[in-house]
Structure 1
């Protein structure tokens, strides 16, 4: 087992090869060992709960990263320690507390943050897998895989930004890919030096790195590079005389034009980047199986929408190469070519050759259907599902969950215990999208943290009575979307486990346990947002 004085980057566990980067700092092989006094030892139990099993690595800021076990819940955890605690650990602990409030499939979960004065530590989810930096060291990714990684990172940032926070630490060392293919973003920072825009531009850097193996941000390399954040392990992008990075398609063959354009747009300081939720929606649209034929991987990104639909939000946010404009230029070039051929041919033109009609402005550019645009879907109706109560006093105000006002929503009454006083199986909010839709994600904003809930779906639309509510619940419990949240420590729940090949009309946000509020237990649902097409 590696000692704390000699960092070991990689460890073999039953789940595979692992790299656990400490609080966003890439472990740097060139950094001298960090000496600490009173270092923890294997078998030690922190906070009477977290047993240290094996030291994984030290980061360049002196944090120690251990693999551990939560002896209460019997689950593996990563423990990031800093010596000493107190004021020197404030930024690390604040970042961990902020990150713990956002629960999302593409964010590493943060479980605990403890300051013991002589040392401080953060306990977070253990990820069996490797960082993006390590994976790309074995070879750059194809367009489809790079798009999937970018989509996951943008989706995580959208969840972070929805709470008003900034991640501030997006780079190949904090993007991790688990052995089962899950992409997660780790180790947010809270030092105030970054913005939402810099987060979004960092997604361009992630795409560039995944496609080429180079880092494009010369003016803003990996944060803290001079202090040794593993920057030397990532080569700088190939640049022209003016310092501009070469486009991915100039670095390697096979990069799809649409992804090349999107990446360079995100990196171009003269083009305003889209918001993270818009970027997430656009990358989700592009993150499709390779055998889907509506996306031309050899040509530029199509920002056109279906007739009657709004244009792609990313086009309005700064996309610069629109397929229609390219097709128009090609049409003009073809007309010029035909005229030139006709002029050079003169009277020698073969009379048996059928004339070729030049394209006109009315000639359709393409008969292929445009890809669907992901946007916020309209909720046409909502009601409260309360199957175990004959008193229907809590079924009012359901319309407030989709009125656009997060300061006002629907709330349960106050109960003596979290399980609705053992009087009910739960309560929920049923929503109707008005028609069957392709749904990408559902975000639920709550009044307080600590609730347990899940998202269900079905086709039953029964009357708003106790009997009707029971029919809805019984039918919908068979169809869960994604994973349920247990004692969720944030105020935003994001559900993303929708089947791309299935249409949805009715959804049920079902609450199984209430958080404490004052002298009792209650919960408010402030707003429900559905994204899809």
Structure 2
């Protein structure tokens, strides 16, 4: 008799459509009359069935006529004296338990009760390598002698596995073997199993145990799994990635579906929600879907508002990019009113994640914006590389004001001297030129109003005004008043023009005391940006409390905006309602001048 172990030598082959699905269904649903007679269906390594003989629970062979015509299946090479242990005779599963004659269970890593599944790290004793095993356990509701519901559930899940045998993608573990119900050597409480290659790395809970993952690393991790879901959906398959313990993170930071056999009711929409849940967890350390799954995986359940709505990642972790925050909430079905921003397909999510990853690669030469997560040891830019922020240094600002005042006095002296020389040239007067000291003022004739002159407004502070977000690049907004137009502040790059995602964003400028502002100058390289100039009663006023003074479209370079200096104001808001090229605006410098009588 050929040894059954020898038939399983070598690597277990992926089921690339080589198993007939009708035969698989027959194997998954044995003849009920044979089960009623106490017989046990078995398969030989090639899947052949011998209908001429059957084996009872006490190991005796019997013919079909011995039990009233009921038939059962045993391996064709079985001897009459050979004892074949039935599935009901096997011992329950535990660490160290054998699973058929090839696999040995080593460590239980999780479970999915809704699918009746357990996840194990096991060992392939033939090839001496670790494998990932998904066991289909008999549910308490299935614990009956005939077990119709459990067999039907397991049969549907196993048939799904057979259909997905030809699916291979770097974002999903490769299917190696399928153990159908009734396979020789399965424990009594196991209805079937799927064996896949082992994914090295860490579980999702272990990945976020030390803190949230950097936003760009989270996007790159989910991109791999989103690509796998996209290809699976195109082939009419689903992954079942909406359970946190089915996913593992590789050492190079890729999220991979490690444990197969999803529950029968899972759909492509569940995969999209699972991708959103994975991104949410990497950004916030909280699982947003099932509370029971979160507790079982060792994760914290996501916070919700009193109305039941999820709190967005940006609310829990300031610094999360707007595009990732919007994408995450859209995939979880938490889009805005009217469904704006809802993500319906894995392909759409993969495309947007790829855009975020590509944009990050383009900006790799610049230090990243701090998003609340510490730098990893292999990051190019470390937290220690960040230079100390001296933009709010009082001594530096004082020196800057003194320098500007000296420069202004020098300009006035030069202009006065040039004016006198030009007047003497065209007036023909032989009177020697007289230089007027800068502090001196010409006498004002009676009845004549003094001429108004402009002086720069000193001690201007700025902050990002963003009622609908967390403030784009708030750490760099002081660059617009540092006196250097080459250092700039910019908005985030948006996927759509305002007001698709938000009504606008602005810069609130505040003065030490109310000033009669007569002119505003904006230096910008984003021609076409639309700015509303508004006055505000306080620095933290809402948009509705501000008053519109003028609307201007910025030109390349400096744009001068004349203002009414009749009413002094202490706060001026530059409210951007139209973004520049590429749905992004950049401002290098803003300055104010006040009327001086």
Instruction: Please state which structure has a larger fraction of its residues in helix.
Output: 2
For this structure pair, what is the TM-score category when the shorter chain's length is used for normalisation? Answer: 0.3 to 0.5
More contact order relative to length (CA 8 Å, sep ≥ 6): 1
TM-score normalised to structure 1 length: 0.48
TM-score normalised to structure 2 length: 0.43
